Structure 1
Amino acid sequence: MSDERVGIDELLERVRSGLDRIGAREAHKEYEAGDALLVDTRYAALRERDGLIPGALIVERNELEWRLDPLGSHRAPEADSHDLRVVVFCNEGYASSLAAASLRQLGLHRATDVIGGFQAWKAAGLPVLLPRANRE
């Protein structure tokens, strides 16, 4: 193991240099075309506060690798191929970059994340299913 110390900002920059990050509208277009699996890793309180992206698979960040590993015994049914295009969302697009890089280490070579995360999706006026409390 290396003794190199890296701060989170540098790590994030390194990770992102290996991703083909996309905007919210492009993610929506890929999903609508059936070309991508949207994965929402936001924790429950944020989903309850801000809503859900219709059709997105909800996977808590601490379960992500287990649920999306095509070779894993705990995989989600959707995670059936290393060629799967996985587009990860977090709230603002930081943790999702690290998550997408982790998925790439598992061999999901098309994994990426959305620049600006869920907040960018919402700001772009893309579909959001609001929580019941916000609909009343």
Structure 2
Amino acid sequence: MSEATTSEPPLVDPQDAATRVDAGALFIDVRSQPTRERVGAIPGAIIVDRDRLTEHFDDASPERIAGTGDPERPIVVICGSVDGSRPVAQWLLDSGRPNVVHVEGGFPAWKAAGLPTTPGTETDAL
């Protein structure tokens, strides 16, 4: 029998996520570029293409994201909703990165909590 990870990645509220990022967690935003342009971005978040996770997190890849070499480093994943962040957080957990969480409510909750964002083209967008 295989030993696949069966636990789901933990959800944290936006303030907890911000505290983790302030303490040194890698903060990745997996929303598409058009979405970030439309509704806003998060200063300091690293943009990760969900379809290229292997390239972004493989030590041997020239496309590896800086700061991903330590598998123990905490990671916070955010998307527009948990439906987008959960699969990425799960992939990271299954790939041997035990300190992964994702943000309950995604970007809309982050913005509603008054945490740092840059404006998008939609003035009333969350």
TM-score (norm 2): 0.83
> Does the 8 A contact of 2:38 with 2:121 survive in 1?
no
Q: 1:29 aligns with which of 9, 19, 24?
A: 19
Q: 1:129 aligns with which of 110, 118, 123?
A: 118
- Structure 2 residue 80 is the aligned partner of structure 1 residue 84: no
Distance 2:88 2:77 in 1: 7
Q: What letter is aligned with 2:71?
A: H
Q: Secondary structure at the match of 2:82?
A: coil
> Does the 8 A contact of 1:92 with 1:115 survive in 2?
yes
Q: What letter is aligned with 1:107?
A: G
What is the CA deviation profile of residues 67-118 of structure 1, one whole-angstrom value per residue up to 9, with x for unaligned ones? Answer: 124x342311111111011111110121201110011111111112111111
Q: Which residue of 2 is the match for residue 95 of structure 1?
A: 84
The sequence identity of aligned pairs, in percent, is 36
Please tell me the root mean square deviation across aligned C-alpha atoms, in Å: 1.9
Gaps of 5+ in 2: none
Between 1 and 2, higher relative CO (CA 8 Å, sep ≥ 6) is seen in 2
Q: Which residue of 2 is the match for residue 61 of structure 1?
A: 50
Distance 2:14 2:108 in 1: 9
TM-score (norm 1): 0.78
Gaps of 5+ in 1: 1-13
User: What is the aligned residue count?
Assistant: 118
Distance 2:107 2:54 in 1: 20
> Does the 8 A contact of 2:30 with 2:77 survive in 1?
yes
